[in-house]
Structure 1
Amino acid sequence: MLQKLIGHDLQGLFDQLPLAATLVDEQENLLWVNEKFCTLFGREAKDFADNTFRDLPCDTALTPLGKEPLYYVPPAQGREEHWLRARVDKIEAESGSYEIRYFFEVSDFVQVVSEQMQLNEMLAKKNTVDLVTGLPNRQALWPLLESLVSRSRRYGNDLTIIVMQVGLPEVSKDETGERQRLNALMSVKYFLKDQMRWADIVGRLDGGEFLLALPETPEASSADLIEKIRTGITNIQVTDIAGERQPITAVFGVSAWRKGDDVASLIRRAQEQLPPIVPDDNVRPFRRPR
């Protein structure tokens, strides 16, 4: 069917589509683009000649909308910022396989979701669950830790507290950077849950501070877990302000229960042991003033 359409006819059909669309071959070469596609990227059709889909000035990103990646088109001269969801229709022809890719504008929806996540984070102080990560927050952690401290006082059980401070490369200060920050926190949460025993407690204190409580564990035995987390967390990466993928980093403070300790002194001693996040000025900790 494609072979029966001359270029002018095919371009006319594309331009009548209500969405931005492009036709690509198996090598992702851009064969056709419609007017809405040109408007989206602030270019003319001739500017896409000899381009592949990978040459387009857009990035894929996981967003709060779910696991399906969206396409992010950053603002530039002649175009605004766009968040897009793609739909792909495959076409088989005698000359090969092709795809028509349609792009749906979802920028307003992404904006609403982002604002909701920021609001949830502010409301977390009034709840027992951190609304960004779903982990116990400071208010919820306190009674849990008091119970563990009480057991240590009564029976002399070991109890180790780890405070982990997360930092990430400098990201943009716009909504895209904020979304990266929130997504990074979620990734850290899932990673930590995978490393912990069923009896351990994982919670989020403030900003990028996470608390790990290890009952029946002496301080020396926590070293292996810390090293495992320190190494594994670098697999979580974000796009820095220069557009390069960089790993998240973490530093740790540890304290073990001593006679006379309460929850506040345990946490304070662990926080006092936190070293600088990294010596690199490009890394910004999440830490907030206390």
Structure 2
Amino acid sequence: MEENANKILELSPMGIIITDKNTRMTWCNDQFLNDSDLDKKDIISRLFASLPIEGDGFSNDASKSINLQLFDTNTQVRKFFQYWQVSSADLKQQRIHYFILQHEVSSLTNSPKLKTNIRLPKRANWLEFLDYEVSRSRRYKNPLSLMKCHLLISENPQEIDEDDIQACVKNTLMDELRWADMIGNTQQGSYLMVLPETPQESTTALQQKLQEAISSELKSLSANLSTQLVFGVAHWEKHDDSSTLLEKARKSLVLELEALLP
């Protein structure tokens, strides 16, 4: 049955990835490989969080489409996708991820390297904010940190709706961070925080603060809910652009997740 289903999905004009209950990617179709220019060996059996993709806004409804950007640090190309996911009806807790390629641009044409002064849009998303802060760090040598976190849910005996859990995490992060920080929900269960004027030594204390605050808020949903917040951190260094900083944070997070997930 599963083999027949995959044959049907293979014919889809959309890019598709299937992940298991631990968010490891177990299958993808050729359309996703063609659209993303990624290699299959970099997908199968790896965590979904390892994909070089980031979303541009919050969506607590996993089935609602959001916009994703794929960052290729080798070719300096940003690919823009419409993305959504659904849970499969079987008992394996699989998720099916759909990607529709919208367009692509060379990030060199918009790179902070080529601009002496980037203006921040009035209603900037987190990526525009990151580009702006990277530009400021280059000009003024300001410290800049990027933090990615992912919520692992190990026990949920009362079957609290995952959307409610994620909304609780999002709201707590927004309450605990400073007004100057920016937060984005980049994948299901993953959050990215752009932290201007934040040196490396300050991020350890911030992680502890967020861990305690979110744990306390989640206990108010259910005392039996067992979760763990996992962090990946990156710090701006000379010559880093936004894509490089995102890659550092992503690799740091995946390293921590790999140590915890089977």
Structure with bigger gyration radius: 1
Q: Which of the pair has the greater relative contact order for Cα pairs under 8 Å at 6+ separation?
A: 2
Q: TM-score, normalised by structure 2?
A: 0.50
Q: TM-score, normalised by structure 1?
A: 0.45
